[in-house]
């Protein structure tokens, strides 16, 4: 796939109806989602438990775009093959999840997926420098991972700007995860982000039975994100 820095909206199914994941994936794609973001939590690396590779495998036939799997688990390496076999296009691991993130990123690519690297809000970007050439996406967490519906942490905007400069011409996406709304989206796209994860702001007001609010919510985030770029140009 060629690298594009066009704005992509990636709804997180953490805010979907847990009894209807397949239908929810189809609904958000029909309503304009570019990617589907899947939040895997283990109750150990983060204080919440969601789902694992079997759920990813079950929803894969309901996703036509990109299955973007965010692993908030530790350890990571024993599970990479299972998520790759489940059809993940992108597998993102946290820099804080263990001492051998370099090995983890190598293993993700070796398993045939694109490799993502996530940073908690308290993690500085210095540690990313020697990982850039093995990374396809950097996920800047703008909340502490574990739950949807938290407040955007503004101090991360400067981190995005500095990361963007560090990345230069490399084909690496900058993804923002946490607290994205039409109000916060322009702050991060003008700093250099191109993938916006949004859970509560996409799913609010809608349902599988009435998914049109998902479309309105996605359009509102996209328009705000893109207008910031136009104003900056």
Yes or no: say if 138 and 174 are a contact pair by the CB < 8 Å rule: yes
Q: Which is nearer to ligand DX5, 53 or 179 (CB)?
A: 179
Q: Which of 34, 42, 177, 194 is catalytic?
A: 177
Sheet strands (E) in the chain: 8-11, 35-41, 66-72, 90-94, 114-119, 137-141, 173-177, 195-198
179 binds ligand DX5 (CB under 6 A): yes
> Phi-psi region for residue 32, left (φ > 0), alpha (ψ -120 to 50) or beta?
left
Asked whether position 112 contacts ligand DX5 by CB under 6 A, the answer is no
Residue 89 annotated as catalytic = no
**Is there a contact between 118 and 177 (Cβ–Cβ < 8 Å)?**
yes
Number of residues that bind ligand DX5 (CB under 6 A): 21
77 is catalytic: no
**Which of ligand DX5, Zn ion, none does 187 bind, CB closer than 5 to 8 A by kind?**
none
For residue 157, what are its two tokens? 């905007």
**Where are the alpha helices (H) located in 174-211, listed in sequence order?**
185-189, 200-203
**Per-residue contact track with ligand DX5, 3 to 32, x per CB under 6 A?**
---------x-xx-----------------
> Which one of residues 8, 42, 45, 145 is an interface residue with ligand DX5 (CB under 6 A)?
145
Token output for 93: 């691991």
CA distance 63 to 199: 17
Considering only the stretches 51-59, 159-167, 175-183, 209-217, report the one whose residues sit in contact with ligand DX5 under the rule CB under 6 A: 175-183
Interacting residue ranges for ligand DX5, rule: CB under 6 A: 12, 14-15, 37, 39, 70, 143, 145-146, 148-150, 177-180, 197-201
């Amino acid at each position: 796939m060629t690298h594009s820095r066009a704005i992509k909206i990636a709804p997180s199914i953490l805010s979907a109806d847990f009894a209807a994941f397949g239908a929810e994936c189809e609904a958000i794609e029909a309503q304009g989602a570019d990617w589907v973001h899947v939040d895997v939590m283990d109750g150990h690396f983060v204080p919440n438990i969601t789902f694992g590779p079997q759920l990813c495998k079950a929803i894969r036939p309901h996703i036509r775009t990109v299955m973007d799997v965010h692993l908030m688990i530790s350890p990571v390496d024993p599970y990479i093959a299972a998520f790759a076999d489940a059809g993940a296009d992108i597998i993102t691991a946290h820099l804080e999840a263990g001492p051998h993130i370099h090995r983890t990123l190598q293993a993700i690519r070796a398993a045939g997926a694109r490799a993502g690297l996530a940073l908690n809000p308290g993690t500085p970007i210095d540690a990313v420098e020697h990982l850039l050439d093995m990374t396809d996406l950097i996920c800047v967490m703008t909340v502490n991972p574990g739950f949807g519906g938290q407040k955007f942490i503004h101090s991360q905007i400067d981190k995005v700007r500095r990361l963007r400069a560090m990345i230069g011409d490399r084909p690496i996406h900058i993804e923002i995860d946490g607290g994205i709304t039409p109000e916060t989206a322009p702050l991060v796209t003008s700093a250099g982000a191109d993938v916006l994860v949004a859970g509560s702001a996409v799913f609010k007001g809608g349902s599988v039975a009435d998914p049109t609010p998902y479309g309105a919510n996605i359009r509102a985030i996209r328009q705000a994100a893109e207008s910031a770029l136009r104003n900056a140009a």
